[in-house]
Chain A
Amino acid sequence: MLARTASNLYWISRYIERAETNARLLEVGARNALMPNIGGGYRNEWDSVLRASGTAQAFDRKYGEPVQRNVESHMFFDSDNASSVAACIERARENGRIVRTALTTQVWDALNTAFQEIREMQRTERSKLALSDLIDWTTRTTALIRGASLATQLRNDGFDFSNVGHYLERADSTARLLDVKYYVLLPQVGLVGSGLDNYQWSTLLRAMSAHRSFGWAYGGEVTPLKIADFLILNRQSPRSLMTAIEGVEQFLGQLARRYGKSSKPLSQSRSVLAELAETNVSEIFEEGLHEFLTRFIRDIAAIGASVHETYLSGEAR
């Protein structure tokens, strides 16, 4: 398939996944804004949301004080913020328009409708748009696009690239969410295990819509170890690093078989997977969660770079 087309398909998935991550972050912020300010945790939950999205500096320059309305504008509506929901949907749709021929009607329909709707929302008076509705809209819309893709797209190499993008972005965003929560909220190891700690950790579960599934999978007390296990190593958890990297490996493997040629990103993802398979949460905490995550994020970025170089740049021989 045309290298540029593969690249467009890959990025559609990444943008859609990114839009969803952003909406989930907003949900966490909104939820915490409703909580009483217990025991002076981090300065302000909205600030931590901005940090998790990696756009705190840009926000500061444009808006200043992180109050809900501004954070909403920044993370949902603002096209200047490249990772806002609106910008992600716009770019996913733009990529989709370029490769219209590689998408089924259902997928294009879902993408294009999302774009039309977000434009409509941008024109609507803000007081008429409740944050909870915006969040619901985003998770519903991204699920619809992803679902349409899974249900209707031809299982060809384009499908593989689309999934590689989806799982890489998911691995990256789970790792970043974990990292911000750990690093920003709990710089002191002494706090691990305290009540505040558990509360902040369970916020993390909410961010991943995994609060209930966690209960089903583990039961009992919510502890940082269990949560970390759930979000890093558990194969049942749809957003764990393990599940995401397995997805990456699966679809890169499929591409290699299809093209009859192994690839650099495939061996890279296999070694990350092997490492995850051999470790456990205690070991990760021993190394330091932040150190572990930093390394993981770097590995994911390296896989992304190899995917580009091997398949998407058009320099393949």
Chain B
Amino acid sequence: MDKAAPLQFFNEMFDSESVRPPYRGLEEWTRDMPAELRSLKQSEAESLFRRIGITFAVYGEGGDPDRLIPFDMFPRVFSADEWRRLERGIKQRARALNAFLVDVYGRGEIVRAGRIPARLVYQNEAYEKAVCGFLPPRGVYSHIVGIDIVRTGRDEFYVLEDNCRTPSGVSYMLENREIMMRMFPHLFQENRIAPVEGYPRALRRTLASVAPKKCTGEPKVVILTPGHFNSAYYEHSFLADMMGVELVEGQDLFVEGDFVWMRTTEGPKKVDVIYRRIDDAFLDPLCFKPDSMLGIPGLMNVYRSGGVTIASAPGAGVADDKAVYTFVPEMVRFYLGEEPLLNNVPTWQCGKRDDCAYVLEHLAELVVKEVHGSGGYGMLVGPKASKAEVELFADKIREKPENYIAQPTLALSTCPTFVAEGVAPRHVDLRPYCLVGESIELVPGGLTRVALTEGSLVVNSSQGGGVKDTWVVAD
């Protein structure tokens, strides 16, 4: 990609006036849908979401904790061919990221080979010294890898970031599909759309396949949630329900002897695999944050002695750090001996003096992100920011340059979206969920996020983005 090229947006449905093949099944559907039916269906969808209880609380915004993420009924479509290509790239990346994690908590070959600076790895805030030398079952640190991908052209896909800890949003992938099938059954009869409903079973299978070595018999899997005040609580309980496993909070678990136990009405029951949806820092007050109320004292000792598996493994965060991101293509080459199938977005490290100078000079054209931030908080979208905002951000970068990276403002592809005036193109991204255990699996689909505001390139739900059903259609 030319770093300075002007923005040309790829429209996923219309290719210079003709409809691209994956979207052909939708042409008639939109053309023939009268406005009244559309608004009827839209409010039906909303009330379905509300009844199901899918809500999303936005951090720091206050207001209604039961807010809905806006759902757009216009699906985002990939052809089977496009998907096969993506799938190969995603799986390759997930393998490389896990190989990297095993390496940096083991011998550190990649650092010794000089392919990534030692400082970036070992002085990284996400690097957990507590798990050095420990090899998790099957050598998997990140069991669910969420890779955020944007499209900028017919054959151009870029990885925006990797999420190796606990990527959220998969419940939307599943529920969006349920709701679309309920509202527009004929679309599913007319198009051959690959199902995504196997995800919860695949996730359970993946987690059971990484049971600790001391586990005998059918592994007991649980999901650990920070509690019902967490904004993603709906997702935690939804997944537990679909997987048929218990949803526990820290207070429901305790350590005794060599194992972790769950408090039940019949007394303690042993737990083998914990799919945790809380951060490393809150896992075990004896090992990490001493004042954490969420954790289980002694958990890390049991973990390190092979009494329980934690997924994702503590320490996995070092692989999805935004500064480490730059080196993922290098990891693919180093561990797999392959060329990366998915590209990184060109990235400037503000910690490097030359890069920083360039970034400060071109701030108005770039997107700047905090290295450790997530969810679209604390970022600057240069072309959309006012002069004052840009200057304020420049000061922040000068103060702590290593805290920031910058990328060109990407020409995110657009997908037709229902708006007040009818149908209009809006920018989208994609988060597929790759499962890594005994084998590597990827359900054909993912979460498509859409920036509902005209011209906006920020798709985060915390910043007013919406979601779409994502289809992979057979050729």
Does B51 lie within 8 Å of A109, measured CB to CB?
yes
Give chain B residues whose Cβ lies under 8 Å from the Cβ of A4.
248-249, 251-252, 263
Interface: A108 (CB within 8 A): yes
Is the CB–CB distance between B228 and A259 below 8 Å?
no
Q: How many A-B residue pairs have CB under 8 A?
A: 65
Is A243 located at the chain interface by the 8 A CB criterion?
Answer: no
Instruction: Report chain A residues within 8 Å CB of B362.
Output: none
By the criterion CB–CB under 8 Å, are B53 and A316 in contact? no
Task: Give the top 9 A-B pairs by smallest Cβ distance, nearest first.
Answer: A314-B263, A101-B241, A100-B237, A311-B265, A98-B228, A316-B267, A3-B263, A6-B265, A101-B240
B97 at the interface (CB under 8 A from A): no
A280 contacts partner chain B, Cβ-Cβ < 8 Å: no
Decide if A94 touches B265 in the complex (CB within 8 Å).
no
Main DSSP-derived SS at the B contact region: mixed
Give bound CA distance, A3 to B265, whole Å.
5
Give, as a whole number of angstroms, the nearest-CB distance from B369 to chain A.
33
When each residue 155-175 of chain A gets 1 if its CB lies under 8 Å from chain B and 0 otherwise, what string results? 001000100000000000000
Residues of chain A lying within 8 A (CB to CB) of residue B267: 316-317
Question: Which residues of A have CB within 8 Å of B228?
Answer: 94, 97-98
Residue contact B51 to A316, C-beta cutoff 8 Å:
no
**Which one of B238, B252, B262, B268 lies within 8 Å of A100 (CB-CB)?**
B238
Please provide the chain B residues from 219 to 258 with a CB less than 8 Å away from any CB of chain A in the complex. Answer: 228, 233-234, 237-238, 240-241, 246-249, 251-252
Question: For A3, A311, A312, which residue has the most chain B Cβ atoms within 10 angstroms?
Answer: A3
Interface residues of chain B, those whose CB is within 8 Å of chain A, are 50-51, 53, 228, 233-234, 237-238, 240-241, 246-249, 251-252, 262-268
> How far, in whole Å, are A112 and B66 apart by their CA atoms in the complex?
11
CB distance from A114 to the nearest CB of B (A): 11
Contact present for A316 and B238 (CB under 8 Å): no
Bound form: Cα–Cα A252–B85 in Å: 58
Residues of A within 8 A of B241 (CB): 100-101
- A100 in contact with B264 (CB, 8 Å): no
Kindly provide the distance from the CB of B324 to the nearest chain A CB, expressed in whole angstroms. 36
CB-defined contacts of B266 to chain A, threshold 8 Å:
1, 259, 261, 316
Is A157 touching B265 in the complex (CB atoms < 8 A)?
yes
User: In the assembled complex, which residues on chain B have CB atoms less than 8 Å from the CB atom of A44?
Assistant: none
Asked whether, in the complex, the Cβ of A3 is within 8 Å of the Cβ of B252, the reply is yes
Instruction: Name which of A2, A5, A113, A317 has the most chain B CB atoms within 10 A of its CB.
Output: A2
Q: Does A37 count as interface, using CB distance less than 8 angstroms?
A: no
A–B Cβ pairs within 8 angstroms, 10 of them: A1-B264, A3-B263, A3-B264, A4-B252, A100-B238, A101-B247, A108-B53, A255-B265, A261-B266, A316-B263
9 new A-B contacts, CB < 8 A, other than A99-B237, A116-B50, are: A1-B264, A2-B248, A100-B53, A100-B237, A109-B51, A113-B51, A157-B265, A314-B263, A316-B265
Q: Could you say which of B53, B262, B265, B268 has the most chain A C-beta atoms within 10 Å of its C-beta?
A: B265
Query: Using Cβ atoms and an 8 Å threshold, which residues of chain B touch A98?
Result: 228, 237
Q: Which of B51, B240, B249, B266 has the most CB of A within 10 A?
A: B266
Q: In the bound complex, what is the Cα–Cα distance between A315 and B266 (angstroms)?
A: 9
Rounded to whole angstroms, the CA-CA distance of A315 and B51 in the bound complex is 35
Task: Check A316 against B264 for contact (C-beta < 8 Å).
Answer: yes
Map CB proximity to B onto A89-100 as digits: 1 under 8 Å, 0 otherwise: 000001001111
- 1/0 contact string of A283-317 vs chain B (CB within 8 Å): 00000000000000000000000000001101111
Point out the residues of chain B lying under 8 angstroms from A316, CB to CB: 263-267
8 Å CB contacts to B: which residues of A241-276?
255, 259, 261
Note all chain A residues with C-beta closer than 8 A to B263. 2-4, 314-316
Complex alpha-carbon distance, A101 and B252, angstroms? 16
A113 to chain B: closest residue by CB? B51
Contacts of A5 in B (CB 8 A): 246
In the complex, how many angstroms separate the beta carbon of A288 from the nearest chain B beta carbon? 38
Q: How far is the CA of A108 from the CA of B234 in the complex (A)?
A: 13
The interface centre, meaning the residue of A4, A113, A161, A315 with most chain B CB atoms within 10 A of its CB, is A4
B268 contact set on A, CB distance < 8 A: 317
CA distance A161 to B240 in the complex (A): 21
How close is B66's CB to chain A, nearest CB, in angstroms?
9
Say whether B51 contacts A1, CB under 8 Å: no
8 Å CB interface, A59-116 against B: 94, 97-101, 108-109, 112-113, 116
Could you tell me which residues of chain A, from 19 to 40, have a CB within 8 Å of some CB in chain B?
A: none
Bitwise, A130-168 to B at CB < 8 A (1) or not (0) is 000000000000000000000000000100010000000
Contact A312 B53, beta carbon cutoff 8 Å: no
Whether B238 pairs with A312 at a CB distance below 8 angstroms is: no
A97 to B50, CA, bound (A): 13
Question: A315: which B residues are within 8 A, CB to CB?
Answer: 263
* Smallest Cβ-Cβ distance to A108: which chain B residue: B53
Contact B265 A259 (CB under 8 A): yes
Of chain B, the residue at the smallest CB distance from A116 is B50
Kindly name the residue among A100, A113, A255, A317 whose own CB sees the greatest number of chain B CB atoms within 10 A.
A100
Residue of B with least CB distance to A157: B265
Q: How far is the CB of A100 from chain B (nearest CB, A)?
A: 4
Query: Which residue of B has the minimal Cβ distance to A101?
Result: B241
Chain A's nearest CB lies how many Å from the CB of B52? 8
- Which chain B residues lie closer than 8 Å to A97 at the CB level? 53, 228, 233, 237
Q: Nearest CB to that of A95 among chain B residues?
A: B228
